[in-house]
Structure 1
Amino acid sequence: MSATTTVLTDRVPLFETQPPAFIQEQDFAARQYRGRRDNQEDYYAFADAAEPEERSLERLLLVVGDGLGAHAGGSVASYIGVNAFVRAYHEQDGPHSWKLKHAIETANETLGIITSRMPSVAPPMGTTMVGVLITPKTMEWISVGDSPLFLFRDGVLHRLNADHSLSPLIDARAERGEITREEAENHPDRHTLQAALLGMPLAMIDTPAEPWPLKKGDIIIAASDGIFTLSHKALEELLSFGKHTTADKIADAIIFAIRRINNDRQDNTTVGVVKIG
């Protein structure tokens, strides 16, 4: 399903007197590529999450959902899940970490309600999800599934959130010498998920204990797993050239690099980029 960029704000007078903390396309942007799939089953949203006393876009919410292609309505699931997340975040009061937790639980429950109304023979609707709350100085996130959250800082790319696929378990077998590295990288179960939003109790949720400090020059990327067509090193090298450009150009460059590889099994790819100026 095609992407949406949602900017929610009811602080028009404040916006008119002060520029937003984050500027669309310059500081935050997203791009998508359908790849070799029949449908685009990823969905994303940006939303203004600023508190009433803050200027517009002083807190930016980025949510990425990757619908499960083997399940009914993967594109519908990611669309419903992402929008339920954004809506629930804004409806809840309290600490930001609590609002993120409430949002992902609400998204999961919403998918469960819809699944319960479907024929009993249909598989449940499902999606992975990563929700990121970003200010110019800090970042918090919550995620379920294998959609990655990266931080590029000082020339080094770090994955911040946990991978809820079987990849970490298979890689651990390779490290113990039970299988070779090549066997691990090509294992048929490598991308099988241990957790996703399916309307059932969430057994695995990744979220930091404290807000993650950010600094000028940091680049944050939330993506669907189609980005893994690029190796860690290739993505790191690409981002090293992006430190002097804008978020939209970085997102364009990532998608262009993936398209150039021309993988005959290329998955849907969504790339959301936030640059700390």
Structure 2
Amino acid sequence: MRPPFDFDAASALSKGRRSYQEDAVIADFSRGSEVGVAVLADGMGGHAAGDVASKIVVTEVFSELMFQRGDVDAFENKVTTHLFEAAMAANACLRDHVASYPETHGMGATLVATVIINRHLYWISIGDSPLFLFRDGELSQLNEDHSMAPQIDYMVKSGLLDKEEGQCHPDRNTLTSVLFGEDIPKIDCPTDPAALQAGDILIVASDGLQFLTDEEIAQVLSASRGAQSAEIADRLLDRLREQNDPDLDNVSFSVVQLQDADDCKAQSEKSQLTGIRCVG
């Protein structure tokens, strides 16, 4: 039995204008697999500490999800529990690391982890790393933003701040929740999954990608219909470089395109005559 979707996925990392990389991302969307997994963390705590924090979180969460996905039916029945427990295990690892290396006190990381199974998208997120869905030309953020930005935007909408003040507010990027080895104030892990459709594009990203506006990201995706995910990733990075922003943060993301397995098979057969290649 073929899986409900074929995946075309690619990941990208850039230091931006920073002198070191504090993001980490890993994904597994193997052709023919019934389950796809992507995990991303944006570290904080300065050189070394932030880098270590993001790697601890990504490694712990990814390895746990990959271990659990062996039995697909059992995994789907408890996928939100597994996501939550994996995040808690990563948080405990951060706590143990800080206990062993006190000089890293204050290190932490955001987390966004996604699981695609049987046309359903499950996720857990902590912090401000966005999870985007692009469908029918529209880009939307699926997960909560655990920073001060939503509150500041609400103040702008309510007339308490003007638009420019809101965009430049010094507290805009202040996090209201993060993994740092202690209690986690906010966790976004919906029990009900999001239903996916063939043609959807998912982007699991660090907030560095948001140096582009939602409109700019959507423009790149709209102009990239038919392109492979690796090419889309390159175009997003090119658009960021074109801005020439001296404050450009670390950028990391995974691009995942979804296609019906039967459609992909049909295109593969057609490619023998037309030269069109379907990437799974």
Letter in structure 2 aligned against 1:193:
L
Please name the residue that 1:115 is paired with: 98
Deviation string, structure 1 residues 100-141 (Cα, Å, up to 9, x no partner): 11111111111111011122x643221001001013611110
Deviation at 1:219, TM superposition (A): 0.1
Deviation at 1:20, TM superposition (A): 11
Equivalent residues of 2:49, 2:104 under 8 A apart: no
Please name the residue that 2:22 is paired with: 41
Please name the residue that 2:62 is paired with: 86
Q: Is residue 2:36 matched to residue 1:60?
A: yes
Q: Alignment RMSD, CA only?
A: 2.2
Please name the residue that 1:73 is paired with: 49
Deviation string, structure 1 residues 75-101 (Cα, Å, up to 9, x no partner): 111011100111222445751111111
Secondary structure of the structure 1 residue equivalent to 2:39: strand
Determine the C-alpha separation between the residues in 2 that align with 1:233 and 1:90. 34
Structure 2, unpaired ranges of 5+: 69-73, 260-280
TM-score (norm 2): 0.84
Please name the residue that 2:170 is paired with: 188
TM-score (norm 1): 0.85
Determine the C-alpha separation between the residues in 2 that align with 1:48 and 1:275. 10
Determine the C-alpha separation between the residues in 2 that align with 1:19 and 1:141. 20
Determine the C-alpha separation between the residues in 2 that align with 1:175 and 1:99. 38
Query: Superposed, which structure 2 residues align to 1:100-139 within 5 Å?
Result: 100-119=83-102, 122-135=104-117, 137-139=119-121
Equivalent residues of 1:145, 1:164 under 8 A apart: yes
Deviation at 1:201, TM superposition (A): 1.4
Secondary structure of the structure 2 residue equivalent to 1:276: strand
Q: Report how many residues are paired.
A: 252
Choose from 189, 198, 220 the match for 1:238.
220
Moved beyond 3 Å, runs of 4+ = 18-23, 69-72, 90-94
Letter in structure 2 aligned against 1:85:
V
Choose from 13, 36, 49 the match for 1:32.
13
Determine the C-alpha separation between the residues in 1 that align with 2:107 and 2:246. 26
Equivalent residues of 2:45, 2:104 under 8 A apart: no
Please name the residue that 2:268 is paired with: none
Structure 1, unpaired ranges of 5+: 1-13, 50-54
Equivalent residues of 1:151, 1:219 under 8 A apart: yes
Deviation at 1:57, TM superposition (A): 2.3
Q: Is residue 2:148 matched to residue 1:166?
A: yes
Secondary structure of the structure 2 residue equivalent to 1:236: helix
Say which structure is richer in helix. 2
Please name the residue that 2:236 is paired with: 254
Which segment is superposed worse, 237-246 or 105-114? 237-246
Quickly say closer, same or farther: Cα 1:155–1:20, change in 2 above 3 A: closer
Deviation string, structure 1 residues 28-63 (Cα, Å, up to 9, x no partner): 0101111111101100111369xxxxx852211100
Determine the C-alpha separation between the residues in 2 that align with 1:114 and 1:146. 23
